[in-house]
C-alpha cells in the first residue's frame, strides 16, 4: 500500500492514476468527504479524509503503508509544518520509503514556496528515512489556464515579459517517474532528481508552438502584475499566495528558470514530452 497525500489536487490525481494503471494499491489522503468518490474512480483502494496538519489523521493514514508519496498543497505557508508532520508519521509507522514531491531549484530563497521545500528536504535528510526527492520544473499544464484565450482570441497573456525563458515539464511524465520510483524503490533510494521536459523556452516561443497546434496566430503579451493581482484577489486568492506568486513572476522575469531534461530522459528511458507534443495533445482535446 502506498499513501499519497494532497491526493485530490492535479499532481495527486496524476500520480495516483499512474500508480493504479500499474496495479499498485493506493491509499489517498484528501481533505473533504466530497473528494472520496473521485479518488475511488481513479482506482484508489482506500481514501482517508482529514487535514494534513492533524497528527492523528497522519498517523492513521500512514499506518501499515510501505511508502509515502508526499505532495504538499500548492503555495502553502504550512509547507514545513506539514512536511515535518508527515515525516514524523512515516518514522513512527516505520514506513520504508518516503518520496517527496519538491520543486526544481528549491534553493531559491527569493521564492518562498521553493525555499520552504528545501527546508522539508533538509528534514528528510535528518529523518533517517530511506527517501527519494523529485524536483519538477513548472508544469506544462499551467499553460492550460490560457487555453481558451489562445484558441479563441490568439492571445497568450503572462504576468512577466514575453522574453522570459522557463523550463517546463509534462505532469504526466512526472507522474510516470513517481510511479517508477515508488514501484522500484531500491533503485532510487537517497536520490534527488531534477525533472525538466525541455530547455527553457521564451513565452514568445510558447505562443508560437500553441499557434501552430491550434492552426492560428497566437501572440504572447505581458499583463501588468497589478492587474493580474486584482483579478486573483477577486477570485479569492489569499494574501500569502498572491505575494508568493508575484515574487515568483519577478524572479522569472529577472533570471528565467532553467533546467536540463537529461535526468528525466534517463528515468523515463525515452525522450520527455516536448512542448510541441503537449500542445498537439491539448489541441486534439
Ligand X SMILES: NC(=O)c1ccc[n+]([C@@H]2O[C@H](COP(=O)([O-])OP(=O)(O)OC[C@H]3O[C@@H](n4cnc5c(N)ncnc54)[C@H](OP(=O)(O)O)[C@@H]3O)[C@@H](O)[C@H]2O)c1
The CA-to-CA distance between both ends of the chain, in Å, stands at 33
Q: Taking CB under 6 A as the rule, does residue 20 contact ligand X?
A: no
Query: Beta partners for 132?
Result: 99, 191
Q: Closer to ligand X by CB, 219 or 242: give it.
A: 242
Q: Taking CB under 6 A as the rule, does residue 77 contact ligand X?
A: no
Q: Which helix (H) or strand (E) holds 28?
A: strand 26-30
Least distance CB 216 / ligand X (angstroms)? 26
Q: Of 92, 107, 142, 152, which lies in the binding site for ligand X, with binding defined by CB under 6 A?
A: 142
Q: Closer to ligand X by CB, 136 or 197: give it.
A: 136
Q: Which residue is nearest to ligand X (CB)?
A: 9
- Tell me the window of 1-9, 58-66, 200-208, 213-221 that interacts with ligand X (CB under 6 A): 1-9
Q: Taking CB under 6 A as the rule, does residue 71 contact ligand X?
A: yes
Q: Of 138, 196, 220, 245, which lies in the binding site for ligand X, with binding defined by CB under 6 A?
A: 138
List the one residue out of 187, 201, 192 whose CA is nearest residue 133.
192
Torsion of CA 108, 139, 120, 115, to 10 degrees: 20
Distance between CA atoms of residues 276 and 220, nearest Å: 16
Q: Taking CB under 6 A as the rule, does residue 16 contact ligand X?
A: no
Q: Is there a contact between 199 and 265 (Cβ–Cβ < 8 Å)?
A: no
What residues numbered 79-98 form the site for ligand X, per CB under 6 A?
none
Helix axes 112-127, 239-255, angle to 10 degrees: 100
Q: Which residues bind ligand X (CB under 6 A)?
A: 6, 8-11, 31-32, 51-53, 71-74, 101, 103, 113, 136, 138-139, 142
Amino acid at each position: 500500500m502506498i499513501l499519497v497525500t494532497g491526493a485530490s489536487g492535479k499532481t495527486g490525481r496524476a500520480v495516483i492514476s499512474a500508480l493504479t494503471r500499474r496495479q499498485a494499491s493506493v491509499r489517498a489522503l484528501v481533505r473533504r468527504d466530497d473528494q472520496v468518490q473521485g479518488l475511488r474512480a481513479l482506482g484508489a483502494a482506500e481514501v482517508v479524509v482529514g487535514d494534513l496538519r492533524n497528527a492523528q489523521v497522519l498517523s492513521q493514514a500512514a499506518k501499515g503503508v510501505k511508502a509515502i508519496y508526499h505532495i504538499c498543497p500548492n503555495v502553502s505557508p504550512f509547507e514545513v509544518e506539514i512536511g515535518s508532520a508527515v515525516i514524523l508519521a512515516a518514522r513512527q509507522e516505520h514506513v520504508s520509503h518516503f518520496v517527496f514531491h519538491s520543486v526544481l531549484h528549491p534553493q531559491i530563497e527569493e521564492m518562498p514556496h521553493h525555499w520552504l521545500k528545501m527546508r522539508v528536504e533538509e528534514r528528510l535528510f535528518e529523518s533517517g528515512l530511506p527517501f527519494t526527492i523529485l524536483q519538477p520544473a513548472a508544469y506544462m499544464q499551467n499553460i492550460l489556464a490560457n487555453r481558451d484565450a489562445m484558441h479563441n482570441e490568439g492571445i497568450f497573456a503572462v504576468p512577466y515579459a514575453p522574453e522570459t525563458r522557463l523550463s517546463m515539464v509534462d505532469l504526466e511524465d512526472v507522474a510516470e517517474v513517481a510511479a517508477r520510483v515508488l514501484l522500484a524503490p531500491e533503485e532510487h533510494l537517497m536520490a534527488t532528481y531534477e525533472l525538466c521536459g525541455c530547455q527553457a523556452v521564451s513565452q514568445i516561443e510558447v505562443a508560437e508552438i500553441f499557434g501552430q497546434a491550434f492552426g492560428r496566430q497566437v501572440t504572447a503579451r505581458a499583463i501588468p502584475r497589478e492587474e493580474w493581482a486584482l483579478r486573483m484577489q477577486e477570485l479569492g486568492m489569499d494574501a500569502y499566495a498572491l505575494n508568493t506568486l508575484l515574487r515568483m513572476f519577478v524572479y522569472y522575469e529577472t533570471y528565467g528558470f532553467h533546467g536540463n531534461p537529461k535526468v528525466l530522459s534517463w528515468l523515463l528511458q525515452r525522450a520527455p514530452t516536448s512542448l510541441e507534443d503537449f500542445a498537439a495533445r491539448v489541441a486534439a482535446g
